[in-house]
Amino acid sequence: QVQLVESGGGLVQAGGSLRLSCTASGSIFSIGAMGWYRQAPGKQRGLVASITGGGNTNYADSVKGRFTISRDNAKNTVYLQMNSLKPEDTAVYYCNADVKHTGWPLGGIVYWGQGTQVTVSS
């Protein structure tokens, strides 16, 4: 009974910026790792960036130096700031979160958002 709601996707020109957000709601006690994945037409879904509950980050080589992942634990939200966008960044972007439920001591459960389209024109 957790929902991840994404926002911020859209159409931008190459070199532009976009900020994605993903907010989790439901019977949440705390959230561990959170991440962003993307899937382009004809390609498999792959990791873009992840952030642990302690704030450690990891990025795909293709986005290092251009994208920044961050989180606001008080809002149960993860962000992806995307700068210097390239046409090859065009994809559906998905967020996920490892959620610990209120009153449930048996570990976290991973939930996924519905995906949001990012299109970068040349």
- Phi/psi at 120 (5° precision): -115, 120
107 pLDDT band (50/70/90 cuts)? Answer: confident
pLDDT score of 34 more than 90: yes
SS3 95: strand
pLDDT score of 100 more than 90: yes
- Phi/psi at 2 (5° precision): -120, 135
Over range 52-75, report the average pLDDT. 97
Which residues face 81 on adjacent strands?
19, 68
Count, in order, helices (H) and strands (E) of the chain: 0, 11
% residues pLDDT > 70 (the chain): 100
pLDDT score of 71 more than 90: yes
Instruction: Kindly report, residue by residue over 9-27, the tens digit of the pLDDT.
Output: 999 999 999 999 999 999 9
Find out whether 45 and 52 touch, Cβ atoms under 8 Å.
no
